[in-house]
Structure 1
Amino acid sequence: MYSFTSFAMQLNELNKDMEGVIPQTDCRLRPDIRAMENGDIDLASEEKKRLEEKQRAARKNRSKSDEEWKTRSLPLGPRWFQQGPNPHTRSQDWLFSGGYWDRNYSQLPDIY
């Protein structure tokens, strides 16, 4: 259990009834983590390398674009959070901007 408590391990469980309810960007769908949890360390390592290369390519493509990364019209960028002053501490923070619970995940990027 990788030194996790039973509770922590259950947080990463993926049930069939979650399909279509959670966004395809949910970390429970990460193929490298799934492979590691299933005990396939070689596949987990390969998947992690593949995901890192995919992230590097996406970052390179974003840097070529004139558009700002955080713009909501882009396929990537903060969708459900924006930076702003925390109403309680008045310091810069990430604030929930809504939309997540609408379950409209049609415009999410393929990150895995």
Structure 2
Amino acid sequence: FRPPVEFIWGAQFFIGLGVGIRYSGVTGVEVRQYILSALGYCLLLGFISFLFVLVIVGLLDTSPIDTLLAYLPGGQAEMGIIAIVTNADVAYVISHHVLRLILVLLLVQVFARWILK
């Protein structure tokens, strides 16, 4: 099932409107800083993920593409779709993303208490 294209356009319009309203009054310099910061953050996370992939593939007998998709930052749905398209092991990729989510939810309180002391 796919919704009519007009509904998709309407949803995208209102999502864009909501995002655009948040940027009203923001200067071009600030937008450039936000974009450069986001790009730098993405590159840093990608580099760290790549290092993890090299270590994991070197230690274990796993596929590089499966391991890369499992450790790249991103949503479960997006990585699941990419895993399907690339013929990667979807269960391996999604289980790592779920495990990472569970670990973050469990450990965030511990680190917050430690930092706030």
TM bucket by the smaller chain? 0.3 to 0.5
Give TM-score, length-normalised by structure 1. Answer: 0.41
Q: Which has the larger radius of gyration?
A: 2
Indicate the structure with greater helix content: 2
Structure with the larger RCO, 1 or 2 (CA within 8 Å, 6+ apart) = 1
Give TM-score, length-normalised by structure 2. Answer: 0.39
